[in-house]
Amino acid sequence: MATLKEIADLASVSVATASRALNGSAVGHPVSEAVQARVRSAAAQLGYTPSAPARALRARRTSIVGVITSDILDPYFGELARSIEIEAGRLGFVTIVANTDRDPGQERLKFELLREHRAAGIVFCGSDIDGAPGTARLAREVDAAVAQGTRVVALAPRHFAADRIVVDNVAAGGRLTEHLLDLGHRDIAFIGDLPGLASIGLRIDGYTAAITAAGGAPRVLGRGGLTQESGRSAMGELLAGSRLPDAVVCANDEVAVGVVAGLWNAGLHAPETLSVAGIGGTRVGEQFGLTTMSLELGELGMVAARYITSVEGAPPSAPGVRLVVRSSTRAWAPRR
Amino acid sequence: MATLKEIADLASVSVATASRALNGSAVGHPVSEAVQARVRSAAAQLGYTPSAPARALRARRTSIVGVITSDILDPYFGELARSIEIEAGRLGFVTIVANTDRDPGQERLKFELLREHRAAGIVFCGSDIDGAPGTARLAREVDAAVAQGTRVVALAPRHFAADRIVVDNVAAGGRLTEHLLDLGHRDIAFIGDLPGLASIGLRIDGYTAAITAAGGAPRVLGRGGLTQESGRSAMGELLAGSRLPDAVVCANDEVAVGVVAGLWNAGLHAPETLSVAGIGGTRVGEQFGLTTMSLELGELGMVAARYITSVEGAPPSAPGVRLVVRSSTRAWAPRR
DNA sequence: TTGTACGCGTTATCAC
DNA sequence: GTGATAACGCGTACAA
């Protein structure tokens, strides 16, 4: 690959001039039109591409953003990673993604790798699992890195002390439940959980508070996971049992789609059989008319990208949650 | 961030020794146990993290893999990006992803950026659009870069000359169609297309050949896109029309899920109303029992990652396609 | 308006 | 076993 020196030689100028000609260079150091042209043409001729590593070394900073995610295939994280990448790209940054499968060991490893690459900032997308082996150690290392100047932002509750941009999970669970209550539903179950995951715990808290305030008894099912599969199997168990709830609030959209699939597989339909609602606002449920509490992930990712690539400033607040009513919940009916 | 020099000073050794102590160093340059320990402890004390940019400069190569993708949220690309990232990670590489929205201009930009970062290799996941403005120019630039030594591999038909690892799209479309014929279906439509996209064109070719060989007349619908949305709307039009096919082969799993959603929204069901099959083998259709032609994307991504990170060797061949029969297609019935 | 020279952090080469 | 040093490619302070 051609270097600046080769360009300079070909254009018969010094490397300094070549650099200035190509970069517009600092004030006080103009380059004559003629030389500009010579340098540009030399660069084009040799197919010159500046070396980011060399620049990084010289400038002591890179234009790399790191994104640590549990699984890019989960639409929640996919949506986040995507909007971060797009906005970061607009700002001249490239994005390194890391799938960690929620394994603290993997997270540590990828975090360290990102630090080696001198990422300008690192975004943790999901929350960690309380009590999981390795969570504490990861937290210690992140804390140490932050103390050393590594920029870190978390988009969910985390056990380390870094900047946070976190949506209001309690409100998401609460307001969605209230909406279902307003529709006249009384027997509302919550489906999906991953014990120890703070973000889901908070959604359950919001649900529980709303149910309790309405004089009902909260019921949480399907604590085995947050996937479509777990949603479908939870629905299967529900259908096999005796008492079917009026409506279900799902821990996330994936679980909700799984619930819809469970109904579909049984030849049933929402909202006739029961109302179904998700949390997240990802596009997975769109075509099935899934009512959901949007967490405005596109906006969140944008905000996060802007913050992590900026040098100064306090972390912005997360966008508010927004109820998206579609057809998987029944239309309004007077309270019975 | 601590540098090797600081470690060396703290451990009272030279930078050369510090480097050797931390890297296991080259043969012929042993480091005494005592010094090893001193250096390690100094590094730990200062929280030393080696600089990848500096190493890259020195070694004239990075451990970065670039992935150019149209949209990470599309499960097809998500699955690929994910498996590439995981396998590359195993091999000690980090992965920079780029969403280009199939825009050749964006692809050019991201490709150039990846070259600046001196990516060890760049993977193009999707195929380009024949005739789109910019496709030709991108092809020229990629060709030039490849000539200069940039390693590039394409996982779909492309207009530039680089290594390819491409699944057999014709077989995917053909064998899936034959399977539906075997089930007794006669009126089989194909849904979904993006005119100019070679990979889809080949799937249609396979479908057409199979239908024609069986004495039928091919019918391609919903040429407006490859999304769930386009699948759902195509299904909507079909339901509004007079003649419903026996079965539909969808351009990809996304379209197929859209078709399933279209049926669901109309209170209908597959395979009772008609059989539905997708192409891709992504997990989106799993919970709905979608029959699909798996393209073994996980395997493809692994193979691609291994190839692009290797220094030598010819490109491996793509994994074969594999029929996955689930419940969205009807059980075998004797030919009428 | 242009050129010279240094240093960013690392590792390989050569010396002791 | 260990140390000094050059070089990777770039941008900029300092000169001219």
DSSP for A151-211 reads: -EEESS--SS--EE----HHHHHHHHHHHHHHTT---EEEE---TTBHHHHHHHHHHHHHH
Compute, in degrees rounded to 10, the torsion defined by CA atoms B201, B204, B209, B212.
-130
Return the residue matching tokens 């601590």: B2
Residues 42-61 of A with CB under 7 A from strand C: 54, 57-58, 60
Question: Is B63 in contact with B92 (CB distance < 8 Å)?
Answer: yes
Q: Which amino acid is at A60?
A: R
- Segment A301-323 mean pLDDT: 97
Q: Cβ–Cβ contacts within 10 Å for residue B218, how many? A: 16
Residue nearest to nucleotide D2 (CA to C1'): B17
Question: Does residue A257 contact residue A290 with C-beta atoms inside 8 Å?
Answer: yes
Rounded to the nearest integer, the mean pLDDT of chain A is: 96
Measure CA of the first residue to CA of the last residue in chain A; give whole Å: 75
Does at least one atom of strand C sit less than 7 Å from the CB of A204? no
For A46-80, write each residue's pLDDT tens digit: 999 999 999 999 999 999 999 999 999 999 999 99
> Per-residue pLDDT for A223 more than 60?
yes
The average pLDDT across A96-103 equals 97
Cβ-nearest to A264 among B96, B97, B288: B288
For residue A76, the chain B residue with the least C-alpha distance is B73
Supply φ then ψ for residue B38, to 5 degrees.
Answer: -60, -45
Which residues of chain B are under the pLDDT cut of 70?
333-336
DSSP one-letter code for B33: H
Which chain B residues have a beta carbon less than 8 Å from that of A228?
A: 283, 286-287
Question: Nearest CA to CA, how far is B52 from chain A (Å)?
Answer: 5
- The per-residue pLDDT for range B186-218, each reduced to its tens digit, is 999 999 999 999 999 999 999 999 999 999 999
Q: Which of residues 18-57 of B touch strand C (CB under 7 A)?
A: 19, 22-23, 25-26, 29, 48, 50-51, 54-55, 57
Measure the CA–CA gap between B65 and B105, rounded to whole angstroms. Answer: 21
In chain B, helix, strand, coil percent, each to 5?
A: 45, 15, 40
Cβ-contact B301, B79 below 8 angstroms: yes
- Give every strand in the sheet of B291-294, ordered side by side: B220-221, B188-191, B247-250, B275-280, B291-294, B322-324
Residue of A nearest to B63 (CA): A117
**Residue A336's pLDDT is what?**
45
pLDDT tens figures, A256-296: 999 999 999 999 999 999 999 999 999 999 999 999 999 99
- Answer yes or no: is A60 CB < 7 A from strand D: no
Rounded distance in angstroms from the CA atom of residue B328 to the C1' atom of nucleotide C2: 73
For residue B4, list chain A residues with Cβ-Cβ distance below 8 A. Answer: none
- How do residues B266-294 score in pLDDT, each as one tens digit? 999 999 999 999 999 999 999 999 999 99
A residues 10-29 closer than 8 Å to B (CB):
none
Q: Which residues of A touch B250 (CB under 8 A)?
A: none
Cβ within 8 Å of residue B233, ≥6 positions away:
B222, B224, B258, B262
Task: Give me B234's structure tokens.
Answer: 């195509």
Q: How far apart are alpha carbons A269 and B50 in whole angstroms?
A: 57
pLDDT exceeds cutoff 70 at A333: no
Residue nearest to nucleotide C2 (CA to C1'): A17
Q: How many CB atoms neighbour CB A92 within 10 A? A: 9
pLDDT at residue B318, as a whole number: 98
Interface touch A82/B98, C-beta < 8 Å: no
Mutate to test the interface with A, among B22, B117, B146 (most CBs of A within 10 A): B117
Q: CA dihedral in degrees (A40, A42, A45, A46; nearest 10)? A: -110
Q: So what's the pLDDT on residue A151?
A: 98
Max CA separation in chain B (angstroms)? 88
CA distances, B230 to each of A298, B237, B282, B313 (Å): 22, 11, 18, 41
Residue with minimal CA–C1' distance to D8 is B58
pTM of the predicted model over 0.75: yes
Distances from the Cα of B299 to the Cα of A75, B80, B98, B316, angstroms:
21, 9, 21, 12
User: If you measure CA to CA, which chain B residue comes closest to A288?
Assistant: B261
* Strand C positions within 7 A of protein Cβ atoms: 1-5, 7-15
The number of residues making up chain A comes to: 336
A positions 235-294 inside 8 Å of B (CB): 257-258, 260-262, 264-265, 267, 269, 283-284, 286-289
Position B117 scores a pLDDT of 98
User: Among B297, B313, B318, B291, which residue's Cα sits nearest to residue B188?
Assistant: B291
Positions in chain D where some atom is under 7 Å from a protein CB: 1-5, 7-15
The pLDDT-based confidence of A334 (bands split at 50, 70, 90) is low
As a whole number of angstroms, the distance between CA B17 and CA B24 comes to 10
pLDDT of amino acid B33: 95
